[in-house]
Structure 1
Amino acid sequence: MRRLVIALPLLLSACASVTADPQTGLYARPVGNAPATANLTPYSPDLICLQQAALTSHKTRPRVAVGRIDDLTGKRDFYTGANITQGIALFAQSALSRAGLPQVERGDRDISDYELKAAMEHVLSDTPDQAGNEPDNFRKVYAGQIAGSDYYISGGLTELNYNIRSDGVDLRAGGTGSDDPAGSFVSRRFVMNIALDLRLIDTRSQEIRRVTAYQKQIVGREVKPGLFTLLDGTMLDLSGGFSEMEPIQLGVRTLVERSVYDFAAGLYGMGPSVCRNGGVPAAESPDNHPDSRNAVEPRPPYQGPYLDRSRWGTPTRR
Structure 2
Amino acid sequence: MSFRLPVGRGKRLRTLSLVSVLAVSVTLAGCTTPEAQSVAPGELPLVIGPPVRDNVTPMEGVLACFADHVASTGMAPVVVGVGDVKDFTGKYSLNEGNALTQGGALMVYSALGKLSGAVRIAERFDPSIAERELGYTDRRQLGDGEIHDLDGPNGKQKVPWIPYFGGTIQQSDYFIVGGITEVNYDIRSGGFEAGVNQIGGKGRTYSQQVAIDLRIVDTRTLEVVKTVSLAKQFTGYEVGFNVFRFFDNDLFDINVGARGQEPMQLGVRAALEEGVVRLISAVTNVDYEPCKAVQVGGRIAVTPAEKLRVVANPASGFGAPAPVVKSGGQPVNSGGNAVASASGSDVSIGFEFGSAQLGGEALSRIDQIAAAAKQGGVNVLLVSRDTENFDPGKRDALSDQRVAAITSALASRGIAPAAVSIIWRPAPSDTSIHRDGPGMQELVRLRIGG
2:127 is matched with which residue?
109
Question: What amino acid does structure 2 have at the position aligned with 1:114?
Answer: R
Distance in structure 2 (CA, Å) of the matches to 1:285 and 1:271: 17
Matches within 5 A, 1:231-250: 236-250=252-266
Q: How far apart are residue 238 of structure 1 and its match?
A: 3.6
3-state SS of 1:145 partner: coil
Q: How far apart are residue 239 of structure 1 and its match?
A: 2.9
* Matching residue within 190, 195, 200 for 1:184: 200
Pair 1:120 & 2:138 matched:
yes
The gaps in structure 1 that reach 5 residues or longer are 1-20, 175-181, 289-318
Question: What amino acid does structure 2 have at the position aligned with 1:73?
Answer: T
* Matching residue within 160, 170, 174 for 1:147: 170
Question: What amino acid does structure 1 have at the position aligned with 2:120?
Answer: P
Listed one character per residue, the Cα deviations across residues 34-72 of structure 1 (whole Å, up to 9, x for unaligned) are 111111221122112211232233233100000011110
Q: How far apart are residue 236 of structure 1 and its match?
A: 4.9
* Matching residue within 43, 58, 70 for 2:59: 43
Distance in structure 1 (CA, Å) of the matches to 2:39 and 2:202: 48
3-state SS of 1:126 partner: coil
3-state SS of 2:121 partner: coil
Question: What amino acid does structure 1 have at the position aligned with 2:122?
Answer: V
Q: How far apart are residue 287 of structure 1 and its match?
A: 9.2
Contact 2:87–2:100 (CA under 8 A) maintained in structure 1: yes
Contact 2:69–2:286 (CA under 8 A) maintained in structure 1: no
1:178 is matched with which residue?
none
Distance in structure 2 (CA, Å) of the matches to 1:165 and 1:207: 39
Distance in structure 2 (CA, Å) of the matches to 1:46 and 1:59: 20
Deviates more, 1:40-49 or 1:207-216: 40-49
Distance 1:49 1:172, change over 3 A: same
Distance in structure 2 (CA, Å) of the matches to 1:83 and 1:26: 40
* Matching residue within 236, 239, 256 for 1:220: 236
Q: How far apart are residue 230 of structure 1 and its match?
A: 7.7
Pair 1:75 & 2:91 matched:
yes
Question: What amino acid does structure 2 have at the position aligned with 1:104?
Answer: A
Listed one character per residue, the Cα deviations across residues 250-284 of structure 1 (whole Å, up to 9, x for unaligned) are 11101100101111222332223121122334735
Q: How far apart are residue 233 of structure 1 and its match?
A: 8.2
Contact 1:266–1:272 (CA under 8 A) maintained in structure 2: no
Distance 1:122 1:24, change over 3 A: same
Distance 1:26 1:190, change over 3 A: farther
3-state SS of 1:201 partner: strand
Matches within 5 A, 1:1-318: 24=40, 27-99=43-115, 100-127=118-145, 135-173=158-196, 183-227=199-243, 236-278=252-294, 279=360, 280-281=363-364, 283=409
Contact 1:273–1:287 (CA under 8 A) maintained in structure 2: no
3-state SS of 1:275 partner: helix
Deviates more, 1:235-244 or 1:117-126: 235-244
TM-score after normalising by structure 2: 0.53
Listed one character per residue, the Cα deviations across residues 147-175 of structure 1 (whole Å, up to 9, x for unaligned) are 1110000111110111111111102135x
Question: What amino acid does structure 2 have at the position aligned with 1:122?
Answer: R
Distance in structure 2 (CA, Å) of the matches to 1:75 and 1:239: 32
Listed one character per residue, the Cα deviations across residues 78-100 of structure 1 (whole Å, up to 9, x for unaligned) are 34322111110000000011123
Question: What amino acid does structure 2 have at the position aligned with 1:125?
Answer: G
Greater relative contact order structure (CA < 8 Å, 6+ sep): 1
3-state SS of 1:241 partner: strand
Distance in structure 2 (CA, Å) of the matches to 1:22 and 1:43: 39
Distance in structure 1 (CA, Å) of the matches to 2:39 and 2:95: 37
Listed one character per residue, the Cα deviations across residues 176-224 of structure 1 (whole Å, up to 9, x for unaligned) are xxxxxx6312101111111000001001111110000001111111111
Distance in structure 2 (CA, Å) of the matches to 1:271 and 1:187: 44
TM-score after normalising by structure 1: 0.73
Contact 1:271–1:287 (CA under 8 A) maintained in structure 2: no
Distance in structure 2 (CA, Å) of the matches to 1:241 and 1:148: 56
Distance in structure 1 (CA, Å) of the matches to 2:114 and 2:136: 34
Distance 1:26 1:142, change over 3 A: farther
Percent of counterpart pairs with the same letter? 30
Contact 2:225–2:282 (CA under 8 A) maintained in structure 1: no
Question: What amino acid does structure 1 have at the position aligned with 2:44?
Answer: A
2:328 is matched with which residue?
none
Contact 1:60–1:268 (CA under 8 A) maintained in structure 2: no
Contact 1:44–1:95 (CA under 8 A) maintained in structure 2: no
The gaps in structure 2 that reach 5 residues or longer are 1-36, 149-156, 295-359, 367-408, 415-450
